[in-house]
Structure 1
Amino acid sequence: MNIIKNPAKKEWKTILQRPTQTVGDIEQTVTQIFDDVKRNKDAAISKYTALFDGVELENTQVAVFEFSIAVAKVSDELKIAIQQAKSNIEAFHTAQKTEKVFIETTNGVSCWQEKRPIQKVGLYIPGGTAPLFSTVLMLAIPAQIAGCKEIVLCSPPNKDGEIHPAILYTAQLCGITKVFKVGGIQAIAGMTFGTEVIPKVYKIFGPANQFVTVAKQLATKYGVAIDMPAGPSELLVVADDTANASYVASDLLSQAEHGADSQVILVSTSEKLIQKVSLELQKQLITLPRRDIAQKAIDNSKSIWVASDEIALELINEYGPEHFIVCTKNTSFYVDQIENAGSVFIGNYTPESAGDYASGTNHTLPTNGFSKAYSGVNLDSFTKSITFQEITKEGILNIGNSIAVMAAEEGLEAHKNAVILRLNDLK
C-alpha cells in the first residue's frame, strides 16, 4: 500500500480517486450490446455468452433437474452455514417492515401511505472469479419478504455451461425458480428489454464489475430502475494504536481479494500502526490463493496518516466508503458523526466478512462515493410507497378555498374549477 503522510486537503480528491475506468471508457461497448439485445434478443444473448464466457448454450434457463444436481454437490457443512446466514438475514430484514402511516391533516381530510411490492425484479449474481452465492441471500430474501411476484435471477455460466452449485442451492432455498445462465452486460440488457426466454423486469439489483455497473446505469434510460451504482468493492478502515494490526490487515485483504479493481484504504492517527499493518499485509498476502488479485488491489490502495480524529473523519466523509470499519479508542466519535458510508463495522471483533455473509445486514452497498446519496439494499428497496387521500364534504369545505387560490395564482384555471364546482354544490 502507498503510505501518504498528512496530505493537504487540496490533495484529497486526487488521493481518494478510485482505480476504475470512467463511464465514457466503456459506455460505447455497453450501448452496442444493449442495442443488439434489444433487436435480436436471445440470439444476441447467446452470441455474447459464447464471446465473453466461452460457452455455447442451447438453453439459458436452469432446468429443474439442474437444481437437484446442484443441491447434491453442496456439502452439509456449507448448507448449515447458508441456512444460518439465511435465518439472520431474514430476521434483520423482516424487522424493517413498517406499518401504514395515517393522519387526518385537517378535519375531513385523511392522508395515508402504504408500501406495495415491486412486482417484477431482476437479481444479478456475479459468478466469475468468485461465485457470490451469498448475494442470492442478500437479494432474494428481502424480495420474498417484500412480496415481489416475479423474481428473475441471472448469473454467468462457467466453461461447462453450469452455474456454481452453491448459487443454485441458495436460489432454491430462497424460493427462486427462474434462474438464467447469463452474465455480464447481456444479462442486464436481457432483463431490461426482455427476450423470448428472459422476462423483462421493473428493477434490477446486484453488485458487479465496472461493465455491469455501467449497464445498470444505462438500463435506467429504458425505464428500468436499479438498486444503486454498485461497482468494484471497497473498504476503508480507521484505526489507531488500540487496533489489532493483524485484524486490520486481514480486513483489508478480505476486500482486496474481490478483484484487481477493488480498493482498500487505511486511515490512522498512528504511524506505528500503519507500519505494523504493512508488515502484516505482506505476511498474510503470501498465504492467499487469490494473492495475485489481492496484490493488484493493494497496489491501488493507500495508508493515510493524519494528525487528528477530526481530520480523519472529514477525509472519510469525503471518500464515502462502501464498507467502513472503526477500530479506535474513540469509537463513538466516528460512529456518531459518520455521514457517508454504506455499512459500518465497529470494533476489533466485527470483521467486514460478517456483513458479507451472516450477521444479517445486507452486503449490496453503494460504491464509488455513491454512499453520499444512496442507501444499501434493504427491504424498502423492493417496495414503493403509495400515498392515498380521502376528503369528505367537511374536508373540501375546509381546504377548498386554499386550493382554488393557489391554483389561480399559478394560472391553472381547470385546477381551480375542479374545486369551485364542488364548493358551489355544497353551498
Structure 2
Amino acid sequence: MLKNAAWLLALFLVLFVGTFLLLGGDIERPWSRADQADAEEFHQQVGPADQREPDRVSGPGLGDAPVTDLDAAVEDAPEDPTAPGRVRGRALSRAGHPIPTVQMRLVPGAGTLVRAQGDDWLIEDVPPGSYQLEVWAEEFVAARSEVVVRPGRSTWHEVRLQRGVRPRGKIVDETDQRGVADALIEFSGTARTRSQIDGTFTAPYVIPRTALDQITVSHPSYDRYTYIRQPTHDPEDMVLALSRGSATIKGQIIPDHETFQAKAARLRLYFSTGGRHDLRRQEIVPVAAGFTFERVHQGVYDLAIDFPGTQLPELHREVRVKMNETVEVRVNIGKGSAITGHILARAGDLSGRKIELMNGKGLTVAACATAADGSFKLTSVPEGSYRIKVWYGNPWFNTEAFEVDGRRERKVVVDCDMRRLRY
C-alpha cells in the first residue's frame, strides 16, 4: 500500500512540473511581486547603480563630502588664505637616530618655536608661504631645506644632519713658535676665521670633516700656506705654522698718463720656483702708490697685477729674489704697444675665451678674455717676441711667435681651427 502511495506522489509531481514548463513558468509569485515593485520604485527615485552619487556626510567645514574621498574634501574645504600654519618634524642623524636637541629658524624669519626636541619639533603661527628651514645642532653640520606652509595646515618635515667638527687651535711663527695674531684661516672654502691676539682660533661653526682636507693660512707679513690633509692634525688642537724669509720686494705701479681709468690694483705674488704656482701674498693698493712685500723667501716669483672693476688686461712680471736682498720693481702702465686682434673658428662659442701673452721664456706677461665677437686687446706690451696662448679646444694651444716693437699697435688674427696666426 505504501508502494502505491509513493507511485501516486511521483506521478503528481511529474504532472505538476510538466504543466509548469508548458505554461512557460508564468505562475504568479505573490511573495516576489512586492519586492519587485519596491525595487522598481527605488530605481525610479535614485537612478541606476552606475549613475548614483556616493553616500555623503556632513560636518563642520566639510559640506557634503563624499565618504570615499574624505581627505580630498578636507583639502578643498574653504579656508582663510591668511590663516597661519605650523611646521612639525624631526631631526635625525645620517644613521637615523633622533638628535636630542636642535636649533632652527625659518628664513625669512617667521613663526614661534614651541619646542626643539629632535624627535618632535614644532614651529607655530607661520604665515603661508615658502621658506628655507635652517637646522643645526651641537656636533652636527647645519642643513637648509625648503618648506612650504599652507593656510591653516600642519606641514611635516624631516631633516637628516651630518656629524662634523668645529676646529680650534693656534697659529704660530715657524721660528719662535709665538702666536701670530690676525691670521686668516680658511677651511676648504666652507668657513673662515681669524686668530686672536695670542694666535688661538676657533671655527665659527661646525663644518664637515672633509673641509679639513685643505686648510689655508695667510697673513700680510707671512707667506700664505696651504696645508693638505695631514692625519697628525687633531681638529680640536691644531697648531699651524707660518713662515717668512729675509728678502723684501718693493715696487710701484706708474700710469703713463693722468687719465688712467683704474684707481686701485690687486697684487698677487706667486711662488713659481720649480714650476710651482703657489699664491704666497695678496693685497690691493692704490695705483701710483708704492707697495712692499716683506720677509719673502728666496726664489722666483710671478707678480700678477690686475685692476678690479675694469676691462684692463692682467699684467705679469717675473721677480727673482735672493736671501737678505731687496728687489725693486717698477710697473709702467700705458707705455708699450697695444695688441688688438680676434679669434676665428668654424664652430664653438668665441666669447669669454682666455687669452694669454707669453714672452720668449714662456712666462705669461698679460692676459684678458675675448668679447662676444671673439675680439681682444692687450696693452702696455714692451718690445720683444711673444706667443699667444688661446684657451680653446683641448684645452688650449700656442701660436707661433711674432714681434712687437713697443711703440706701434700690433694686430693679430688667430685661426683656432688651424691653431696658428692668420696673415
Q: TM-score, normalised by structure 2?
A: 0.20
Q: TM-score, normalised by structure 1?
A: 0.20
More helix by share: 1
More strand by share: 2
